[in-house]
Structure 1
């Protein structure tokens, strides 16, 4: 039998996580986060924080895992979705990433984010190719190059190019890789 989560504990954890994201939005870097800053932002006391997390690293690891899971699921969904064109799938993914920008800001501070995003994009490209039966001997290297450049474009867009629409970025990526 599954243990039910206490709604108060869930709400408190959400308050703590929201406080972290608010602090990041304000320009606080990960290495500047303290329990005191987080609890002050969340209007909670330190004891409450420690009821839910061992330390800041425990909190950050939980946040990172949640965000990775959400991004992974969204990209995996594109592997099984055939209702949209490749370009529309990309626009949908970019819109999703833009909507999660404040969460992704946390991940940009972890080197593993780009590695995970690279692997997810490479798997997406390879799955699409496999399903389309247009596989050539250069596809393996080609998919790695395409994945790296797409991840680079997406990362730049989320960090510095937010003034450009998802449609525009998808158009530019589509122009670079029509296949």
Structure 2
């Protein structure tokens, strides 16, 4: 017999995650957020919170896992693409990151978010290099350095560079890091 979660429970969990994300986006640090503040923001009561989570850290972990899973799915999809449309797929990833900008910037304060992004991008770079037609070519830039550079560019862009569109950023990344 398979277990199917109650849609009301799923909706309540989403309301709590959204409330936490909103509070983080408003500039509250995690240790400043009380269960009372969180449940008021979600328009729920404290008892409802404790039916789903033991504490705010557990809620934070679920929120981060949801966002990281979506990000993982997007970046891993790029691993299977080895055609001439790489730039288009990079633009789609960058567009997705812009859509998720507020969430990413609110959660980047938690080290695991940036570490996860670094690991995903490094896997993408290493995979692309292993699939490259230039197998015999000498690798000049270490994957860790290349990864840190790309993630740094993306984070700068999300924080301060949105006056530049995703196509421009994709072109700059392609020019800097052809491999």
The two structures have a TM-score, normalised by structure 1, of 0.90
Structure 2 alignment gaps of length 5 or more: none
Matched, 1:65 2:40: no
State the shift of 1:146 in Å: 1.2
The residue correspondences of 1:9-158 to structure 2 (distance < 5 A) are 9-82=9-82, 85-135=85-135, 138-139=138-139, 141-158=141-158
Cα deviation for residue 141 of structure 1 reads: 5.0
4+ long deviations beyond 4 Å: none
Residue 28 of structure 1 and its aligned partner are, at CA, apart by: 1.9
Q: What do residues 64-111 of structure 1 show as CA deviations (whole Å, max 9, x unaligned)?
A: 111111111111011113456222121111111111122212330111
- Kindly indicate whether the alpha-carbon contact (under 8 Å) linking 1:24 and 1:105 is maintained by their aligned counterparts in 2: no
Measured in 2, the distance between the counterparts of 1:116 and 1:133 equals 28
CA distance in 1, matches of 2:104, 2:71: 9
Alignment partner of 1:171 is 2:168 = no
- Within 1, Cα distance between the matches of 2:58 and 2:84? 39
Greater shift in the superposed pair: 49-58 or 29-38: 29-38
Q: Structure 2 vs 1, CA of residues 25 and 9 (structure 1 numbering), >3 Å: closer, same or farther?
A: same
Two-structure CA RMSD over aligned residues (Å)? 1.9
Deviations 1:36-85 (A, max 9, x none): 11111111111111111000001001111111111111110111134562
Q: 1:23 Cα deviation (Å)?
A: 1.6
- The change in CA–CA distance for 1:134 and 1:27 in structure 2 (over 3 A counts) is same
Verify the 8 A CA contact 1:19 1:42 in the aligned structure 2.
yes
